[in-house]
Amino acid sequence: MITFKIPKQKEIKRYATVFNVLAKYGFEDVLVNSGIAKVIPKSYLGGHPDTKKNLSLSTYERIRMVLEELGPTYVKLGQVFSNREDMLPPELVKELEKLQDHAPNLKNFDVQKAIETELNRAPSDCFQSIEPEPLAAASLAQVHRARLLNGEDVVLKIQRPHIDEVIESDLLIMKQVAKALEKHSVQAQAFQPVRIIDSFEQSIGEELQFLREMGNAEKFAKNFEGNDMIYVPKVYRKFSTNRLICMEYIDGIKVSETDQLRAVNIDPSAVAKFGVDLYLAQILEHGFFHADPHPGNIFVIPDEAQICFLDFGMMGTVLPNDKEALGDLLLYFLRKDVNKIINLLEKIAVKTDIPDQKKLEQDLYELVEGVSNTTIQNIKVGTILNRFKTVLYENKIILPHYMYMLIRGIIIIEGVGRRLDPEFNITANLEPYTSKIISKRFSLKRLFKKNFNRLQDLNNLVDTLPDDINSILKKIKDGKLVVVHEHKGLKEFQNATSKSVNRLVFAVIIAALSIGSSILVMAQMPPLINGIPLLGAIGFVLSAILGFYIVISIFRNDQF
C-alpha cells in the first residue's frame, strides 16, 4: 500500500519560498540563454536597473544569489561546498567563496527577553548592562556586548529565533532533492548527494549546539595550556545554554589590520610566523583544528602580544591514525614517492573509482616535480593544494570531509600570512614538523610500539583461530554453511533473456493465429460478414495488434 506524507504548514510555506526564488532566477536565466536579452530595448533597461543588472550576471553568480536569498541553511551549504573543488567547477567554487557568514541585523529583536527566556531569570540578575545593538550578525546568531555584575566584559552569542525550524524545513527539501538526483541522475550518483546532505545535516546540527561549541573552546584551551603565544577566551557556562553562549570579550586587533599592529609596535611578519605555527600545531600535533581561520576570527592582544582564535563552532578533528597518515603524506611529497602517495590516498579515501591509474601517477608526478623545481621563496602552498584537489577530482578520489576542511584552512591561513607579510612562506614553518615526523618515524619508541601492536594482533589471531575453525567445521557438519556468491551482470542477463523468450512466445502465438486465420478464411468457415469468415478476421486483427506491440517495444528499447 502506498502512503503519502502530508507536509506541515511551515514546510509548505518554505516550499513556496524556495520555488519562488528559483523561479525568479530561473526566469532571468531563460531570458539570457534564449537570447531575448538582445532584443530588449535599451530604454527599458535604463528604467529597470535591477533587470539590467540581473541580465548581465553569469549562471554561477545567480546560484550564489539564490543561496543568499534563501537564507541561512543554503548559505551554510554554499560555504561547505566552497572548498569542494573535487566536485564542482572552479567558477562556481569561486562564487561560493563569496558567501560570507553574515546577515542583516534582526528587526525588533528584544535581546533582554531572549536572554530571560534562555536563562529563566531576569537579565539584571546576571548583567550590569547589555548593548541592544549587535556587534556582529551571522546567519545563525547575533552577538551582543554585555558586562557582568563583577565588571567583566563579555559577549553574548544568541541564536536567531526559530532558526531550527527553518533549517529543519530546508533540510527536508534538500533530502528529497538529493534522493531524486541519486535515483534519476547517473552523474549525481557518483557524488552520493544523500550522503553529502546527511553529512551537512550533522555539521549544521553541531553548529546549532552551543554547548558543543563551548566544549570545543575548552578543549582548544586545554591543548594549548602553558603556551604563552596563544590566548583562548574564557567561557561562562553558568550564563550559557544550548542557544546562548556567554564568552569573554576580547579587546584586540584584527589580524588583518596591519597599520594598527604597527602602531602598537607589533611586527606583522612575526604575527604571521607565530600564527601559522600555532595553526600547524593544531593540525599536526593536536589533531583538532579551527576550520574557519579567516582574519575576522583571529585577533592579536597587544598588551600581551598574544594571538587569539575566536568562534569554535566549526572545528575539524583528525583521527590518530589519520594524523600519522598526514605526516606520511607530507614526507612522500617531499620524497616525490608517487606510488606511496597513491597507496595512502586509497587507504584514507571515502571512495575511489580511479579510471586510469597511469593518468593519476602522471598527474601526481607533475605536481611533485613542479614543487621540487620551484624555489622555496616562490612556493605557494595554497596553489599546490588547489592543484591537488583538482587531481583528486579528475581521478575520482573522494577524501573524508575533514580533509577538505583542513585544505581550506591551510589555504586561508597562508593567505592571512601573506597579507601580514608579502614575503611570507609557509614552507619555512613546515620544516620543523618534517624533522619531527622523520625522527618520530625512526624512533626506538615508535618501532617498539608498532612491533608490540603487531605481536598483540598475531597473539589475538592465534587465540581466536581454533574457535573460528571449530565454528566453521560445525556449520559444515550441520549443513548450515552458506556461501554467498554474487555474479555481476547476471541480473541484466536474466532480464534480457526473459524479454527475448517473451518475444519469441509472442512470435509463435502470432504465427499460429495467422496460420489458423488463413485456414478459416480459405475454408469459408461461418459466420460470414460480407463473405469474410468472422473468426478468421478476428484472428488477423489480433495478430496485427500483437505484431505492432512487439515492433514498438523493440524500437523503444533500441534493440534491433
* Dist CA 139 CA 104 (whole Å): 8
Give residue 75's pLDDT.
82
More confident residue, 23 or 385: 385
* Dist CA 309 CA 275 (whole Å): 10
Q: What is the CA radius of gyration of the chain?
A: 33
- Split at pLDDT 50, 70, 90, the class of 53 is low
Give residue 253's pLDDT.
92
Residue 230 clears pLDDT 50, i.e. is over it: yes
Let me know: does 416 contact 293? Beta carbons within 8 Å. Answer: yes
Side-chain half-sphere exposure of 460, counting CA atoms within 13 A: 6
Give residue 426's pLDDT.
77
Task: Look at 27-36, 117-126, 183-192, 268-277 and tell me which has the smallest mean pLDDT.
Answer: 27-36
Residue 397 clears pLDDT 90, i.e. is over it: no
Q: Hey, what's the cell of 166? A: 527553518
Task: Compute the average pLDDT of residues 33-45.
Answer: 49
456 three-class SS: helix
Give residue 215's pLDDT.
93
Residue 148 clears pLDDT 90, i.e. is over it: yes
Q: DSSP labels for 300-343?
A: EETTTTEEEE---SSEEE--HHHHHHHHHHHHHHHHT-HHHHHH
DSSP symbol at 285: I
In this structure, which amino acid lies at residue 512? Answer: A
Residue 152 clears pLDDT 80, i.e. is over it: yes
Residue 145 clears pLDDT 90, i.e. is over it: yes
Has this prediction a pTM greater than 0.75?
A: no
More confident residue, 88 or 126: 126
- Return the top range by mean pLDDT from 74-88, 94-108, 280-294: 280-294
Give residue 489's pLDDT.
63
Task: Look at 15-19, 78-82, 494-498 and tell me which has the smallest mean pLDDT.
Answer: 15-19
* Dist CA 409 CA 244 (whole Å): 26
Task: Compute the average pLDDT of residues 90-113.
Answer: 76
Let me know: does 15 contact 173? Beta carbons within 8 Å. Answer: yes
Residue 186 clears pLDDT 70, i.e. is over it: no
Residue 369 clears pLDDT 60, i.e. is over it: yes
Q: Hey, what's the cell of 106? A: 534582526
- Split at pLDDT 50, 70, 90, the class of 249 is very high
Task: Compute the average pLDDT of residues 291-308.
Answer: 88
Residue 317 clears pLDDT 70, i.e. is over it: yes
Let me know: does 155 contact 130? Beta carbons within 8 Å. Answer: no
Q: How many other β-carbons are positioned within 10 Å of the β-carbon of residue 13?
A: 12
Give residue 217's pLDDT.
94
Assign 3-class secondary structure to 212-239: HHHHHHHHHHHHCCCCCCEECCCECHHH
Give residue 157's pLDDT.
93
Residue 102 clears pLDDT 80, i.e. is over it: no
- Split at pLDDT 50, 70, 90, the class of 421 is confident
* Dist CA 447 CA 140 (whole Å): 48
pLDDT tens profile 188-225? 666 667 777 887 787 788 788 899 999 999 999 999 99
Give residue 39's pLDDT.
45
Q: What is the mean pLDDT of the chain?
A: 78
CB contact burial 196-211 (16+ within 10 A = b; e otherwise): bbeebbebbeebbebe
Helices 72-81/163-184 angle, 10° precision: 50
Task: Compute the average pLDDT of residues 269-279.
Answer: 89
pLDDT tens profile 430-485? 777 777 777 766 666 666 666 666 677 777 777 777 777 878 887 787 777 777 66
Give residue 309's pLDDT.
94
Residue 42 clears pLDDT 80, i.e. is over it: no
Q: Hey, what's the cell of 77? A: 551549504
For 109, residues 6+ apart whose C-beta sits below 8 A from its C-beta are: 142, 161
Q: How many other β-carbons are positioned within 10 Å of the β-carbon of residue 212?
A: 16
Residue of 101, 292, 322, 363 with catalytic role: 292
Closest CA to 238 of 154, 133, 349, 336: 154
Residue 542 clears pLDDT 70, i.e. is over it: yes
- Return the top range by mean pLDDT from 173-187, 282-296, 365-379, 380-394: 282-296
Whether 292 is catalytic: yes
- Split at pLDDT 50, 70, 90, the class of 103 is low
The long-range contacts involving 376-380, CB below 8 angstroms and separated by at least 24 positions, are 376/425, 376/427, 376/428, 377/423, 377/425, 379/425, 379/427, 380/414
Give residue 27's pLDDT.
39
